[in-house]
């Protein structure tokens, strides 16, 4: 759709050359004739743009039309796309020529089909996309220069509305979706992976092919060796560029560490921030010896803690020991405090139980003789009764 290369530029005079159709800079496509049983191909790799806009230019469209006709009457033409978009008028013209062709048009999106490139893709009787390909639609835009009046800008706005409607109609013919739905998707600048593009009806099937995609920086992406300028896009989703959970995501090489020889590594000054390490695996990779030491010390400390608890328990406080070792981990010292508390609890219960038993036996009602001393070797009546009830208690 219209971006920097998709506006209505002032027509320029074609330079004379050996090419009867115009200057080579106007050509952004490549036709490959059929060989044997292999059908001919139209390669659209890179920006869909030329020195002269197809809105007014007659040279570049003529060259494309003649090269297409030169393929002859063929049963099928493969259109391979890997483009971030470009001139909307060129895209519309190519779409029309391909739809008018008698051959079956099979579109294969090898990497990206964004912006105006998606218009050409809609010409396919069958549209295939790589699983980790990218498909993006958005509103048309126009780059202007020179001096304009308010009325001029209003006219440009009206032109953009007409351009958008023509694109909406193209998408609707392919997908069968409501125009209002498509208009909203375009306004949102919608990005899809290959799988999502198929699910949303803009492509027909997935190609199980791998594409080598590398993000060199935030505004330049190289897809299958084709640089794609994404600086004009507003909402390039990060998950398309880096996602370990998405096997179809692209790889941002800018995030990969560069291994320098030791003598070339820069020294880090005190106080300067380091590259953040946010995962255990990253820490292990960066400091394997330190991690091994920490793990050994932690293991030794845990073993000592469990051994101390078991020694304290002595088989008499298994429930407390199990809880202290595993359920609610505490130190051996904390375990000792719990054992003392349990012993105090048991002692208090024992004394209370003994007093209750004595009361129930009637021993408390046995009266002794005041001042009466027991005979040598004999006990008083109260002590004799207690000993009878609890013969093992001294």
List the alpha helices (DSSP H) in 188-287.
Answer: 194-199, 238-241, 280-286
Provide the mean pLDDT of the chain.
74
* Selected residue with higher pLDDT from 367 and 85: 85
Q: Would the pLDDT of 57 be above 70?
A: no
- How many other C-beta atoms can be found within 10 angstroms of the C-beta atom of residue 78? 20
Top mean-pLDDT range of 97-106, 204-213, 226-235 = 97-106
Q: Over the stretch 176-220, which tens digit does the pLDDT of each residue have?
A: 999 999 999 999 999 998 999 999 999 999 986 555 555 555 455
Q: How far is residue 15's CA from residue 8's CA, in Å, rounded to a whole number?
A: 20
- Does the global pTM surpass 0.75? no
> What is the dotted CATH code of the domain comprising 24-262?
3.90.226.10
Could you state, in order of their start, the residue ranges of all structural domains in the chain?
24-262, 289-364+377-389
What percentage of the chain exceeds 90 in pLDDT?
29
Average pLDDT over residues 259-275: 45
Strands of 226-229's sheet in order across: 226-229, 220-223, 213-217, 251-252
**How far, in Å, CA of 258 to CA of 10, rounded?**
46
* DSSP alpha helix (H) spans, the chain: 59-69, 88-99, 116-121, 150-175, 179-187, 194-199, 238-241, 280-286, 288-313, 318-322, 332-361, 381-389
Whether 369 has a pLDDT exceeding 80, the answer reads no
The predicted structure's pLDDT at residue 272: 43
Measured distance CA(198)–CA(180) in Å, rounded: 20
Q: Report which DSSP code applies to 177.
A: -
pLDDT at position 381: 62
With beta carbons less than 8 A apart as the criterion, state whether 205 and 190 touch. no
The segment with the largest mean pLDDT, out of 44-53, 275-284, 319-328, 379-388, is 319-328
State both tokens at 60: 């570049």
CB 117 within 8 A of CB 83: yes
- Among the residue ranges 13-17, 226-230, 349-353, the one predicted with the least confidence is 13-17
User: Count of alpha carbons within 13 Å of 108, Cβ hemisphere only?
Assistant: 14
Confidence at 262, pLDDT banded by 50, 70, 90: very low
Q: Band of the pLDDT at 358, cuts 50, 70, 90?
A: low
Q: Please check the confidence at residue 270 and state whether its pLDDT lies above 70.
A: no
Please report, for residues 53, 110, 145, 255, the alpha-carbon distance to residue 252 in angstroms, rounded to integers and kept in the order given. Answer: 34, 18, 35, 6
């Amino acid at each position: 759709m219209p971006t920097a290369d998709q506006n209505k530029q002032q027509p320029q005079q074609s330079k004379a050359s050996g090419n009867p159709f115009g200057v080579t800079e106007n050509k952004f496509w490549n036709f490959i004739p059929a060989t044997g049983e292999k059908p001919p191909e139209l390669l659209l790799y890179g920006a869909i743009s030329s020195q002269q806009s197809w809105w007014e230019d007659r040279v570049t469209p003529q060259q494309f039309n003649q090269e297409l006709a030169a393929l002859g009457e063929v049963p099928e033409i493969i259109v391979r796309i890997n483009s971030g978009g470009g001139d909307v008028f060129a895209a519309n013209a190519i779409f029309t020529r391909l739809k008018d062709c008698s051959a079956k048009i099979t579109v294969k999106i090898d990497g990206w089909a964004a912006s105006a490139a998606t218009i050409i893709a809609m010409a396919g009787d069958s549209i295939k996309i790589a699983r980790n390909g990218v498909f993006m639609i958005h509103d048309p835009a126009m780059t202007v220069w020179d001096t304009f009046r308010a009325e001029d800008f209003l006219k440009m706005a009206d032109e953009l509305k007409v351009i958008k409607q023509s694109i909406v109609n193209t998408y609707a013919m392919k997908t069968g979706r409501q125009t209002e739905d498509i208009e909203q998707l375009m306004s949102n600048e919608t990005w899809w992976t290959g799988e999502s593009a198929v699910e949303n009806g803009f492509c027909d099937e997935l190609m199980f092919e791998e594409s080598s995609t590398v993000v060199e920086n935030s505004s330049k992406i190289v897809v299958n060796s084709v640089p794609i300028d994404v600086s004009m896009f507003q909402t390039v989703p990060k998950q398309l560029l880096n996602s370990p959970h998405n096997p179809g995501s692209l790889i941002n090489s800018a995030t990969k560490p560069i291994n320098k020889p030791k003598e070339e590594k820069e020294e880090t000054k005190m106080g300067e921030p380091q590259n953040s390490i946010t995962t255990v695996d990253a820490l292990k990779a960066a400091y394997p010896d330190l991690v091994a030491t920490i793990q050994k010390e932690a293991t030794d400390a845990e073993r000592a803690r469990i051994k101390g608890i078991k020694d304290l328990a002595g088989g008499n406080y298994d429930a407390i020991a199990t809880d202290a070792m595993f359920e609610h981990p505490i130190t051996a010292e904390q375990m000792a405090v719990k054992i003392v508390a349990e012993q105090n609890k048991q002692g208090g219960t024992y004394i209370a139980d003994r007093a209750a038993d004595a009361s129930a036996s009637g021993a408390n009602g046995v009266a002794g003789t005041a001042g009466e001393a027991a005979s040598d070797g004999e006990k008083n009546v109260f002590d004799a009764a207690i000993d009878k009830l609890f013969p093992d208690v001294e």
